[in-house]
Each structure stands twice: as structure tokens, then as C-alpha cells.
Amino acid sequence: MENFRIVAGKLRRGNAELWQKMENPLISIIIPAYNAEDYLPATLDSILAQQVPFSLEMIVVNDGSTDGTLAMLQQYKERYPNITVITTENGGPANARNVGIQAALGEYLMFVDSDDALASNALSELGATLQKQAVDLLIFGFRIINQQTKKEFSYTFAPAYLDSEAALGEHLGALYQKNMLNQIWNKVYRRKMIADSQISFMPFHYGEDRLFVFDVLRQARDICILDQEYYHYFMRDNDSLVSKYCADKFQVCCLIDARITELAQQFGVLQAENAEILNYMYMKSVISCATNLHGRTCPLNHGQKRKALREMLEHPRVIQALRELPSQSNRKFLLIAKIFSWRNVTLTYFVTFWATKVMKWAPTAFMKAKHAENLSE
């Protein structure tokens, strides 16, 4: 990472004139940052190093950081007037992004996490696409990079232009299954659409990005899909796969499932194949909720964990989804789903406990099992 920062820094020194304060930027890049001084400079440099023939602005929302994040941001702001720094009380990424949306002036919005990076050609090619074809939503591929194992995983989707609910409905199930709708940072959004529809992030610590995307899909009139990997997401800690306990995760998973089901109904595509895909994605989330009980920050005792697990296993939507899974799902998933269908709390507890160990000890194997149907290395 340090080498990357040095190279990017050399490039951006000759690029400063592109980041002078300009009116009417084409894209506003919003970055929430909390105690991010170790990784944020590389993220900023990956953006500043890019050569673009149009105006941009970067809005970094310092979410109540207690380390040197704010001081570092002030140094960047002095050199690059197109960087806006906003400091708020710590309220989480959802609130920070909402603050950034309110401050943005660009025709389009992008979201970048404070420890990730853009591909070197991302902004020039995304901007060129938007200048040729002014769409409400632009979706593109991304790459997940495990910093410990050095393994990389590619997520892409075939190029397409969707200009109707029928066209989006035709692709909805596949986009969801291919992990293209689950995050906010592999997309560019028309700001006017966001403002006119009053779309904002819900105050959750899990799933708020997916719910935001679903709200956008409900309003977008035309969508362009590109098959290039313009975003690089860094996995830096294998423990992070299982350690971040979220108390309301199962409830949010049910809300996400309800929202995507509503979308499928709105687009008239809640037929057998798409219904199976939604069941599959829902059960992947439910399994994630079960493993979440075994994270090292989970405050629940053994009895409370069993109670939470029993509530999941006996939930009517879980029972329905398990009955209607696609038979073509990968074998590891079907095995775990079969165990869930027995509704045996002790056995499910044991299996999900050891699944968390696999996530920590063999993250590459876990990633392959989790996304076997849409990963290409």
C-alpha cells in the first residue's frame, strides 16, 4: 500500500490544476471517514491521480474521528480546493453519506469507502460514458482484494442499457445474484433523481447500502451497465468477516428481502426463476445472521444465542425460502441450507460456529463458497 501511495502521489502532483475549485462539477465523490488516517491517503491519492477532462469535487465527511484524520484532510484541502471537508459527530457511515449528499453540487454522485481505491482509468471512462449517455444510474464491476492472502476476486456483469421497467425486470434477478446490487460503491447516481425522490440512507449499521440501491432502482428511468472493474475493495482483516456483531441484522435481512420482492412485483417478474433467486439470496443472508452470533464482539450468552437462532429457524419466511431454493445452487450452500431446514438448534449452532472458523482461517475458501456462482479470479 505504501508503494501505491508514493506512485499516486507523484502522479497527482502534476494533476493539481484539475482539482481547483470549479462550479458545476460532473461528479461529486462522497467519502465517509472515521479514524481513517492509515488508509485514507491512499484512497484520496487513487482519485487525485486520475486524468479527467471534466470538473470533479470530493466531499470527505469526517465522522467524529479521534485520530489524525482531520489534520490529514486539512493538508489535502489546502492543496486541492475541490476537496470539501465536513466534520460531524460520530453517527456512522449512513449519516455521513447523507451529509455528503446534501453538500454535493455535482450532476452525479459516487460513493467511495475510506480504505478502498478507484482503478486508474475509472473516472475518465465513467465520465466519458455519462457525457455520451446521461442516465439515472451507472453500474460497473469491481474487484475484491484480500490484503493478507493477496487473492483477488472479480465481479462483473455483461454490458446492457436498460430503459424501461420491463428491461430492468428482465435483469433484476441476475444482477442481484451476481452481487451487483448489494453495495453502493460500484455505481454512479444522478443527483437530481436522488434529490427529487428524497432518497437517503437509513440509520442502520448493516444493509443500509442495499436498501439505498433498491430505492434508486425504483426511481431510475434508464440504467447503463459496464463490464469493467473500476472499484477496488480491500479486505484487510480476516476477522472482519465475522467479528462485527449487528444486533438487528436478521430484522434488516427480512426488510431487504421484502424490498427486493416488492421490486420484483413492481416490475412483474416475481416468477419461478426469480423467486428462487430471491429465496437463495435471502437464505445466504440468514446464514450470515446465524454466523454473526459467533463473532468475537457478540455480547450474547450461549442461551441467548440459541434463542436467536431458534427464532430464525422458525421464521415463516425462512421456512418458505428453504422449501423453494434453486436446485442449481452450489453444494456447500445446499448442505448448510438442508441443515437449517431440519430446524435443529443444536446442530445448526454447531455448524454455524465452525463456519465462522472457516471464514477466519480460510477466507479464500470462504469467498469461493459464498460466491461460487459469480466469482472469477
Enumerate residues 6+ apart whose C-beta is below 8 A from 290: 309, 312, 340, 348, 352
pLDDT at 14: 43
Average pLDDT along the chain:
90
| Distance separating alpha carbons of residues 238 and 63, to the nearest angstrom | 24
Tell me whether strands 56-63 and 83-88 are parallel, antiparallel or unpaired.
Answer: parallel
For residue range 245-282, what is the model confidence (pLDDT) as tens digits? 899 999 999 999 999 999 999 999 998 889 999 999 99
Whether the predicted pLDDT of 10 surpasses 80: no
pLDDT bin (cut points 50, 70, 90) of residue 144 is very high
CA torsion sign for 263, 93, 177, 109 is: positive
| Distance separating alpha carbons of residues 232 and 121, to the nearest angstrom | 12
Q: Which residue has the cell 430505492?
A: 215
Amino acid at 137: L
CATH superfamily ID and name for 2-235? Spore Coat Polysaccharide Biosynthesis Protein SpsA; Chain A (3.90.550.10)
| Distance separating alpha carbons of residues 186 and 266, to the nearest angstrom | 24
Give domain limits for the chain: 2-235, 240-360
How many of the other CB atoms lie within 10 Å of CB of 175?
A: 21
Q: In angstroms, what CA-CA distances link 85 with 34, 58, 81, 93, 195?
A: 13, 9, 10, 15, 21
| Distance separating alpha carbons of residues 209 and 193, to the nearest angstrom | 17
Average the pLDDT over each of 158-167, 206-215, 300-309, 359-368 and give the range with the smallest value: 359-368
Q: Which residue has the cell 484512497?
A: 43
| Distance separating alpha carbons of residues 165 and 143, to the nearest angstrom | 28
Provide the whole-model pTM. Answer: 0.91
pLDDT bin (cut points 50, 70, 90) of residue 362 is low
pLDDT at 361: 67
pLDDT bin (cut points 50, 70, 90) of residue 356 is confident
pLDDT at 4: 37
